[in-house]
Chain A
């Protein structure tokens, strides 16, 4: 019945296959014959959504259970949204073209703050009340998970329940609870209350912020007996045993990451102090070689992709990476299947690996020294030296690479103009190194790319104010004026976007109203430059008398309660405070899976032994 409901609409939209589904390995179930349906919603366009591994993992895990159906929906691009609104047609899922409001649950993935307006917009387009409190008994339960769920407060009145931590651990338990609750005829409220019993599930309506007589925030606490005070993340103990779907969907259209994404580790133990993922996914876990080779084989067979990407936060850190890369290259080099490494360390070992996998094509290499001087790299605990970088590029040039991209952050805590000079200096040294090899300068280029530092919750830098927008622009201009070599290109990010990102990353419940107002006034697709409406955002803050500077430039003390203190990543707040102190003293902390345990608390809190990972067996 729903089969063709979009058919006549799609002739006039850009890239209609964003909305037509039917990809290879898609799962279509008879929705009459299942107990519970969930629409997995990615608040960005199709190409971005389908490039996201976690989204696909959840989809297949849920669908592996006969009684559940998971379908997908993405944010429609503005042209299609216009048509839907004109015709008052609801947003539908890709699989059965079922209206969003007919699902039992809608589950959003929260990957970046700048997608929040799209969540409101998709709910509205799906004819689901945007605010939790307005949803009736028939409306779907709206849940959300992903890294941004670790500070859920700016979405507290939109999302009914958050899953904190690794979704594949909790999702089936959550669906089972909903299924059981529905059978028992539980009301929406009762069902939400049931969900609070699942570890890692946060139901914001059962919590409230406390303020003292001066209006100073004192923390967020449960409103009822029996509701947990702290919500600790869900976490996979054994990556090799965890379900990793092998019948991954293969889209038709060209998407951002159009290849097999073979996840080889989760987490990273290097301990960069700005990095939220590095803290949220502690302790690091890896899959063993045997499992990986087997998964790769099955994935190639089931998808037909011509490329396997070994994905993780720091792929070269896998303890068996050499054998893995070699094993895959040897198996597939004659079968038209290539291997790629998305994240390289700044060292010669990584070049050796890149050399091994990229036997023919020498595409550009990207390195992330993050900061220009050794002093600042010690502050952020990025254990990379100038020597590492020069050795790495030297090896790369020797092996035939001609293009290098260097990625830095500006506005890092304690950064001075001397540190910026360090960026210029490094880039020039890379140019000099290339010249030394006496190669054709015509084909050579170095791209220096900077983004502005955004302080993130659950990191040692959660207490750090962002540099002012004006100062960040000054620093970008400074680099522009200094990076003069004809071989160096410089690219940078909009400071307004980074400012808003910092505000929402560290936001509290007051921001929910700002978000709602900004969306009502037309903000959406904020991550897409051409749609980002900074003025409307500023108006919305003004209208609600919320001062955005109080978030981006806040300087809380170490013992002040933070709006996300009731959510735990397993890493102790004390440890983050200590790391912040060490940062200011320019002291480095060792990688805990190779060196000494830094005492972050994750292993203890989550009952795990990280050392076992590097011995090739999971805890």
Chain B
């Protein structure tokens, strides 16, 4: 089996499709392109594709990652060239690397996500105040009930550039913060969020992209 990691974008046109929709779209594009994807065994075989992080409905992404397993070894460049024309407008593979040797799953190494949101007002002071806080307690409700947690340690950075605010937030299976949770604290109600890049950490705890991590 031959594993690849690829970086892809989910554009404005497909902002509102869900994680599962994207998975289906990829599966069909792979079949249209004739890329020799590996299928799981069993009654209901599904293509061996796994996403680094789930994608949210309503979010545009410029840097998401997925892992793909093929039955034949192909050049990453060739795969991109056959697949991109077969993907719907708005979904695009940007970069791709083949894996050598054993590697952890993508999901296991992802640590943070950089988000971008357009803002109208100057928010530098509020952001500074927020970052100065020792604790930021918020309520989270899920099926099991409501919890109060401190998200301050999960906010790695917030800054503004032009008329946009950028937020680097924890994204991993153990610690996670949603961009909306931070936007609420800043009283920003623009729902149009862009995911700029996904990061993992190198041995020096520096944030690098998964493909940089591979080449590292």
Q: Given the complex of chains A and B, what is the CA–CA distance between A22 and B12 in angstroms?
A: 10
A306 within 8 A of B: yes
Binds B, one of A166-174, A247-255, A537-545: A247-255
* B31 & A336 in contact (Cβ 8 Å cutoff): yes
* B15 & A20 in contact (Cβ 8 Å cutoff): yes
Chain B residues in 8 Å Cβ range of A303: 28, 32
CB distance from B93 to the nearest CB of A (A): 15
Q: Given the complex of chains A and B, what is the CA–CA distance between A300 and B32 in angstroms?
A: 7
Chain B residues in 8 Å Cβ range of A361: 43-44
Chain B residues in 8 Å Cβ range of A300: 31
* Interface size counted on chain B using CB atoms at 8 A: 31
B127 within 8 A of A: no
Binds A, one of B82-90, B157-165, B202-210: B82-90
Given A252-B17, A254-B20; A16-B58 close (CB under 8 Å)? yes
* A20 & B17 in contact (Cβ 8 Å cutoff): yes
Given A16-B58, A20-B15, A361-B44; A252-B21 close (CB under 8 Å)? yes
CB distance from A360 to the nearest CB of B (A): 6
Chain B residues in 8 Å Cβ range of A252: 14, 17-18, 21-22, 24-25, 88
* A253 & B25 in contact (Cβ 8 Å cutoff): no
Binds B, one of A6-14, A236-244, A439-447: A6-14
* A304 & B17 in contact (Cβ 8 Å cutoff): no
* Interface size counted on chain A using CB atoms at 8 A: 30
Q: Given the complex of chains A and B, what is the CA–CA distance between A19 and B14 in angstroms?
A: 11
Chain A residues in 8 Å Cβ range of B182: none
B192 within 8 A of A: yes
> B43 — nearest CB in chain A belongs to which residue?
A361
* B192 & A304 in contact (Cβ 8 Å cutoff): no
Q: Given the complex of chains A and B, what is the CA–CA distance between A11 and B21 in angstroms?
A: 16
A594 within 8 A of B: no
What are 20 contact pairs spanning A and B, CB under 8 A?
A11-B191, A12-B191, A16-B16, A16-B58, A17-B18, A17-B57, A20-B15, A20-B16, A22-B13, A22-B14, A22-B89, A24-B29, A24-B88, A250-B28, A301-B32, A303-B32, A304-B29, A304-B30, A336-B45, A336-B47
A7-B15, A22-B90 known; 16 other A-B pairs, CB under 8 Å?
A3-B12, A4-B12, A11-B192, A17-B17, A17-B18, A20-B14, A22-B88, A23-B88, A24-B88, A252-B24, A253-B17, A303-B28, A305-B31, A306-B28, A335-B31, A336-B45
The 8 closest A-B pairs by CB, nearest first: A304-B28, A16-B16, A304-B32, A252-B21, A11-B191, A304-B31, A22-B13, A20-B16
Residues of B at the A interface (CB closer than 8 Å) are 12-18, 20-22, 24-25, 27-32, 39, 43-45, 47, 57-58, 86, 88-90, 191-192
